[in-house]
Amino acid sequence: MSIGNSPEDERPFEDVSEEDRPSVSVGRALQQARIAAGLTVDDISTATRVRIAIVHAIEQDDFAPCGGDVYARGHIRALAKAVKLDPAPLLAQYEAQNGGGRPAPTPAAPLFEAERIRPERRGPNWTAAMVAAIVVVIGFVGFTMINRDEGGANVAGDTEPAESPTPSPTTKTAKPVVPAPDPSDSAIAAAPQDKVTVKVVAADAPSWISAKDHNGKVLFAELLKKGEDKTFQDSSKIDLVLGDAGGLDLFVNGKKIEEDWQPGAVERLTYTKGDPQAG
C-alpha cells in the first residue's frame, strides 16, 4: 500500500494558452492600468495634455472624438506611456480593430522641449550708411554754392540786399532710400519683450491645437482649420501640443521656428519670453 498523492493529484495543472485567454480592448486596458496606478482622468489629462472628454471616450473605445486615425494613435501612445504600458501592442490592437489590419505607422517623435534657436548675427547696414553719407555731401555742396552766390553779389557793390534765390525744384535734396525691413525682423520688433507670444498658422493642413499658460490654464484646445491662425500670449510661458505639426507654421516672439516636422507628427513644445535665443 503506497502512501502519497494519487496519480490524479500529480497531474500538472492545465495551461491556458494565450489564444484561449479573453482579450481586453484598448480602452479597457488603458483604464485598468490607470486605476492600478492610482491615477484619475484629470491626472492623465494634465500629464498628457489630452482633453478629459477624449480620455473618457478612449477608455470606452470611442475614438471618434480624436479626429482621425493619426490623432487616435498619438493619444493612445501618450496615454499608454502615462500609465507605464508598452504602446506597441495597444497600437497593433487598435489597427486590427479599427484600421482594417493596416501596419502601424512610424511612431511620432518623442516628447522634447523645443530647441532654442541661435539668432543670426547681422552685420552693419552699409547700404543705408552710404546713402546717408551721399545725402550729407549733396546738402553741404548746395549750401556752399548758395552762400558763395550771395557773397559775390554783395562784393559787387549792390545797394540793395541780394534777394535770396528761390530753390529750383531740380535742386531738391533726394531722400535716402531705406530698404524695407525683413518681415520677421518687423515682427520681432513688434513683439513685447516682457511677454511670450506664440502664433500658430495652419498653412498646409488642419490640425488639433492645445495651448496652456504658465498656470496650466487652457487657452485653446480645438481643431485649427487650414488657412486659420491663432495667437497666444502669456507673461512667462506657453505650452503647446500640435496634433499635426507638419502642416503648421509656428512663430515665437515674431521669429519663425524652422523645424522639419513630418505630416501627422504630434509635437509637445514649451516656449518662454526669451525664445528664440542662444541656449
What confidence category does residue 278 fall into, taking pLDDT thresholds of 50, 70 and 90?
very low
Whole-number pLDDT of residue 124 = 65
Mean pLDDT of 213-236: 91
Radius of gyration of the chain (CA): 35
Tell me which residue has cell 557773397: 151
How confident is the prediction for the chain on average, in pLDDT? 75
Which is more confident, 138 or 143?
A: 138
pTM of the model: 0.34
Whole-number pLDDT of residue 150 = 62
Q: Best-predicted range by mean pLDDT among 14-28, 114-128, 139-153?
A: 139-153
Whole-number pLDDT of residue 31 = 93
Whole-number pLDDT of residue 213 = 93
| pLDDT value at 271 more than 60 | yes
Helix or strand run (H / E) with residue 230: strand 229-234
| pLDDT value at 9 more than 80 | no
Q: Picking from 66-70, 146-150, 208-212, 232-236, which range would have the lowest pLDDT averaged per residue? A: 146-150
Whole-number pLDDT of residue 270 = 93
Whole-number pLDDT of residue 155 = 43
Whole-number pLDDT of residue 12 = 40
Which one-letter DSSP state was computed for residue 64? G
pLDDT tens digits, 12-66: 434 433 444 346 789 899 999 999 889 999 999 999 999 999 999 999 999 999 9
Mean pLDDT of 82-87: 91
Cell, residue 20: 484561449
Give the integer Cα–Cα distance in Å for 279 and 113.
12
Whole-number pLDDT of residue 253 = 86
pLDDT tens digits, 152-201: 544 444 445 455 555 555 555 556 655 554 544 444 445 687 899 999 99
Whole-number pLDDT of residue 277 = 64
Give the integer Cα–Cα distance in Å for 254 and 71.
28
Cell, residue 248: 503648421
